[in-house]
Amino acid sequence: MRITRGPQFDWFADEAHRALTSGEFAVSEDSNRLGLRLNGPRLAARGNAEMISEGTPLGAIQVTASGQAIVLFVEQQTTGGYPKIANVIGADLHSVGQLRPRDAIRFEEVSLGAARELWIEQTEVAGFRGAALRMKRVDLNCDMGELPEMLANGSQEALMKFVTSVNVACGGPRGR
């Protein structure tokens, strides 16, 4: 399964990077539509870095404090606080849905450019080439309290044609 580096890739030790792409993982019996827990090499982070919750995309590979990898799937939570070492590329997401407990998985890192080309190739085979070339992905990850100020200049109409998904977390304004 092909992956790109995740936003916290640099939080992990070199040994974790090697283990991710050279080790073999097995889908745990504890997996479900939220995420596939993987048994295999532990992916150790450097130090005890903590992070605040942030958006979690489909296919993100989160790593728990114990070093267990979890591939987030179709009913993943909208936000999470585990670091994300990698992301399964869009062209391979369908493969995640085919995995069953005890299935073996290996990861291969590819560049963002290669991931995009593979996505375009896949959509061309499916007959969606023009749409794939026009597609841009926007991650709309902000607090609802920030939204009106951010879009007050009327740019929301221009922005919305590029938004493919939105995660909304509920909570009150800061300080209340």
| Spatial distance between the Cα atoms of 137 and 9, rounded to a whole number of angstroms | 21
Chain-centre distance of CA 29, in angstroms?
21
CB 55 within 8 A of CB 167: yes
Q: Is the pLDDT of residue 143 over 80?
A: no
- pLDDT, tens only, 98-121: 899 999 999 999 999 999 888 888
| Closest C-alpha to 105, from 120, 82, 118, 88 | 88
3 falls in which pLDDT band (50, 70, 90)? very high
49 falls in which pLDDT band (50, 70, 90)? low
162 falls in which pLDDT band (50, 70, 90)? very low
Q: Specify the residue for token string 């916290």.
A: 8
Q: How would you classify the pairing of strands 79-80 and 35-39?
A: unpaired
Domains and CATH numbers, the chain: 2-129 (2.40.100.10), 136-166 (no CATH)
Region of poorest pLDDT, from 1-15, 63-77, 130-144: 130-144
| Closest C-alpha to 123, from 165, 75, 89 | 89
| Mean predicted lDDT score pLDDT of the chain | 78
20 falls in which pLDDT band (50, 70, 90)? very high
Total count of residues recorded for the chain: 176
Q: Is the pLDDT of residue 147 over 50?
A: no
48 falls in which pLDDT band (50, 70, 90)? low
